[in-house]
Amino acid sequence: MSRISKGVDRTMDSIQELQSYIDKSERIVFFGGAGVSTESGIPDFRSVDGLYNQKYKYRPETMLSYSFFLSHPEDFYGFYHEKVMHLEAKPNPAHEKLAELEKAGKLTAVITQNIDGLHQAAGSENVLELHGSIWRNYCMKCGKRYEASFVAEAVGAPRCECGGLIRPDVVLYEEALDPRVLEQAERRLREADLLIVGGTSLVVYPAAGLVTLCKCPLILINKSETSQDRRASLLIKENIGAVFGQISV
């Protein structure tokens, strides 16, 4: 048997084992990162071809910081429009299968580090967005809400009719996570009977630290190594969309 054939057989065995875990569970929580959306055409940050390994005038971490947003709003939005807003992206099999699991009463929450809204687009309702969403925007002066399309179509930094700077409702570097969202995520994790972590290298804190709260079996689906590989009950190093596309509900 060739090395490729052996690899395919191992992957199929892993997917069958994942299916068994899902079939036996009733309070599944999914925790996901950028890798969940790469199969929808949205680039991640830390892979070889990710945003952090590309050359810009400023470091991506700097351009996505709160202080940079305030001091260089035009440069912030230039990067944000080109590299962060992907309004055309569509859900992939991972998003769709998670929505099916929720509708079947098996999945209690999706906890996501992504800001693209693709879980909701696929039909998931119990989504906890740790880092906010590109689809929500508001004026920093008067609080008026704006659609993502308004921000996307703006030339330079979008301004409110009152003159205030409009900002996306996303957590930028230097900002804390929403304590209300964190509290809900912690509660769901403690109640879970299965935790599936996918598409994240688990290096962004405090979000990544949340997975340690869960004492149930842990399934890890990620192409690269993570800090939690050793404690995983099942480790699958494949694209998450391809894996979930083979799961039945």
| Per-residue pLDDT reduced to its tens digit, 5-57 | 334 456 788 999 999 999 999 999 999 999 999 999 998 765 444 455 556 67
pLDDT at 9: 53
Mean pLDDT in the chain?
91
pLDDT at 48: 44
At 227, is the pLDDT very low, low, confident or very high (cuts 50, 70, 90)? confident
What does the pLDDT average to over 179-184?
96
Q: Which ranges in the chain are annotated with CATH 3.40.50.1220?
A: 1-42+90-131+176-249
Say what the pTM is: 0.91
pLDDT over threshold 80, residue 243: yes
Q: What is 1-42+90-131+176-249's CATH number?
A: 3.40.50.1220
**Angle CA(5)–CA(47)–CA(213) in degrees, nearest 5?**
90
CATH of 43-85+135-170, one of 3.40.50.300, 3.30.1600.10, 3.30.1490.20, 3.20.20.150: 3.30.1600.10
- The proportion of the chain whose per-residue pLDDT surpasses 90, expressed as a percent, equals 77
Nearest to 196 by CA among 243, 248, 133: 243
Residue among 72, 86, 119, 131 flagged as catalytic: 131
pLDDT at 51: 56
pLDDT at 215: 87
What does the pLDDT average to over 112-123?
97
Question: d(Cα 42, Cα 215) in Å, to the nearest integer?
Answer: 32
| Per-residue pLDDT reduced to its tens digit, 137-150 | 999 999 999 999 99
Bridge partners, residue 218, by sequence: 195
pLDDT at 71: 97
pLDDT at 208: 78
Q: What tokens appear for 167 in the block?
A: 């900002």
**Angle CA(31)–CA(105)–CA(94) in degrees, nearest 5?**
40
131 is catalytic: yes
**Angle CA(186)–CA(222)–CA(131) in degrees, nearest 5?**
40
- The proportion of the chain whose per-residue pLDDT surpasses 70, expressed as a percent, equals 91
| Per-residue pLDDT reduced to its tens digit, 200-222 | 988 888 877 898 888 899 999 99
Half-sphere exposure of 162 (CA within 13 A, CB side): 12
Cα 179 to chain centroid distance, Å, stands at 18
Q: Which ranges in the chain are annotated with CATH 3.30.1600.10?
A: 43-85+135-170
